[in-house]
Structure formats: C-alpha cells, structure tokens
Amino acid sequence: MVIVIQYLRGLAAALVVYTHLDTQISRISPGAALPWAEIGNWGVDIFFVISGFIMYVAAIDLDARPLNFLMRRAVRIVPLYWAITAVIVAAASVVPSMLASTSLDANHVLASLLFLPWPNPAYPGLWPVLIPGWTLNYEMYFYIAVAIGLLAPRRFRVLLTSAIVIGVLVAVQVSQPTTAIAFYGNDIVLEFLFGLLAGHLFTHRRPLGAAMGGCLIALSIGSVLWMADSALPRSLASGLPALLLVLGSLQFEARARQSVFKPGLHLGDMSYSLYLTHVIALPMVTAVFSRLGARSGFDLSWAYPVVAALFALLVAAMVYRVVEKPLTRQFRSVTGEFRAREAGA
C-alpha cells in the first residue's frame, strides 16, 4: 500500500463531498454558497489519476493475469455498489416520492448494475441509479482496457492500454454518435493514462525530493484554481493538475511511511464508502435543517456544512465497517478459491 495514495483518496472523497455540500446548502437557504465550491469537482479527477496509478503498480508492473485482475477489481468495486443500488431500488419501490432523482426502469436498473451508461428516466443524462456510479462506469471501462493490455508483453502493456483508450476516444469524437456510446468519448478518460504515467515514474524512476514535491503540489493547486473557469478540456484543466498533485505527493512517500497519519489513512480506507453514501446522507440532513429552519424562522445555513459533513463521515464509517469490509472479505474468499482451482487445473 502506498501511504500517500491513501491520503489522496481521502482528500478526493472529501472534495466531492464539499462540492455537494454547496449544492445542498442552497436548498435550505437560497443564495447561500460555500467558497470555492467548484474545486470539489477536482476530487473526481484525482480519483481517476489514482486509479491509473494503482492499475500500473498493482497489475501492469506485476504480471497480473487478465481474469484474476478483473476479478480483484470487481471484488473491490462491485459488492458495495450493488448493495447500495439495491437499497435505493427498494426504497424507490416502497416510497417513490422519497427519492426525487430515482424513477424505476428495468433497463436502467440493469444497465446500472452492469456499469453501462444509460439514460436516467428521472434525472436527465447518462446517470445510473446511484448517481456517483457514473465514474464507476468509466472505471470498469478502464479495467477492461487494462485487462486487454495485460495480454501483451510487459513493455507493451501501457502502450496497448493507451492505444485502446485513445483509439475509442478518437473514434467517438470523429463519429459523434447520439447513443450512450458517446459516453466513452469524454476526454476525462485520459486521466487514467496520466495515472499510468505516474505509476511508471514512481516504480522506475528515482524520487525527485521533497523540495520538488512541494513545488509540484503548489503548482497543481495553483493551476487548477487558475483554470477552473477556463474553456480547456477537462483532462487539461483538471486532469493535469491532478497528475501534478499525485506526482508531488509521491515524493513524500518515504516520510509518510516513517510517520503515518492515522486519521488520514482511515479516511482513505473508507473513501469509497464515503463517495457512494454521501449523496444519501447529505439530503437527509438537508431535510432536517429545512424543517427546523421553517419552524424556527432562523437561517441555519451557517451550521449546516459542519453537521452535514460530520453526518456523512459517520454514515460512511459505519457502512465501511459493517457493509464494505465484510462484503469485500467474503467475495475475496470466494474468488480466492476460484483462482486456486484455476491455478491447479
């Protein structure tokens, strides 16, 4: 485990929560807004670069078998996502009015479970039942590209994986289909390739030192703030700064191992649970604050961000401990038995 990557996973999840806090706070107090709320969207770009990094150090550079690789990634991503999606589908079936962004449609639910982009019947766009799952649709696509890349000799794996991602991107951009295939023509997919580059540099190049790491981190933050409102493609305006942040942070890995910051590590551990559950937890707090504000006549927006963020963290911590870890452990034992039988065949 790379310690600083865990820290960055926690940071990325916290940024996404922050931008959604801004969306929610305007619902309890029209006109209220959090400063620099748009920076929260950067969390997704950081996640994508981290994903590419992990794919390199945990698969491409370790001679992983394609099927085993896909099974390991599925065990990490699928159980919790399916569990929460099932809860949302059940809730929407019993009390449809409770979930404004959910309207049950069999094809949409199936596509969501299969990580395929599909028009959301209640929320315009290619959003799955669990809205944050749109990034997982890209993740699964990238996993398939990496699995195909693993079929090549080691020195050609990054090249083949990159060729697949760039080839599909160019083909979609040129053909401009009106179907869900257009989903894969978003330049955000290039951020996974940035992560592959970060993984290669971390694995095969000497560290640049703490001073250079600090400069890269400062440059990443400055550039993403400067280009926040630019017309540049997202892969350049947010993806490249995310790459710089990851590269800069990796220069401190040796120091991070000497003195582990446990809260940051725990936040990284439960970042997936936080990412998936905060869109359920935050509206719950919003509903409570809206009622309290209406009854008392006071503007409670000043307290909302702290209370809502703490509640989201509490829910994520509980889901991580009670649901994610046990599910992941159980599925790993099942797939471990499968891989053992496959190896002995």
pLDDT one-digit tens code per residue, 221-276: 999 998 877 889 999 999 999 999 999 999 999 999 999 999 999 999 999 999 99
- CA-closest candidate to residue 39, choices 12, 61, 60: 12
**DSSP states of 171-194:** HHHHH--SSGGGGGG-GGGHHHHH
CA 69 – CA 88 distance, rounded (Å): 29
CA 289 – CA 161 distance, rounded (Å): 48
* pTM for the predicted model, two decimal places: 0.93
CA 92 – CA 98 distance, rounded (Å): 7
Q: What's the whole-number mean pLDDT along residues 67-72?
A: 92
HSE, CB side, 13 Å, CA atoms: give it for residue 45: 28
For the stretch 263-267, contacts whose Cβ atoms lie closer than 8 Å and that sit 24 or more positions apart, written own/partner, are 264/6, 264/7, 264/10, 265/3, 265/6, 265/7, 265/10, 266/10, 267/7, 267/9, 267/10, 267/13, 267/14
The pLDDT of residue 335 is above 70: no
* pLDDT band with cut points at 50, 70 and 90 for residue 100: low
Return the pLDDT at 336: 64
CA 180 – CA 126 distance, rounded (Å): 7
Residue type, 12: A
Average pLDDT, the chain: 91
The pLDDT of residue 64 is above 80: yes
Find the range with the poorest average confidence among 58-67, 99-108, 189-198, 254-263. 99-108
Locate 26 and state its tokens: 């305007």
For 82-119, letters b (16+ CB in 10 Å) and e give eebbeebbeebeeeeeebeebeebeebbebbbebbbbe
Q: How many CB atoms lie within 10 A of CB 215?
A: 15
Return the pLDDT at 343: 47
Which residues, 6 or more positions from 81, have their beta carbon under 8 angstroms from its beta carbon?
Answer: 130, 133, 136, 276
* pLDDT band with cut points at 50, 70 and 90 for residue 292: confident
Locate 266 and state its tokens: 């725990």
The SS3 assignment for 71 reads helix
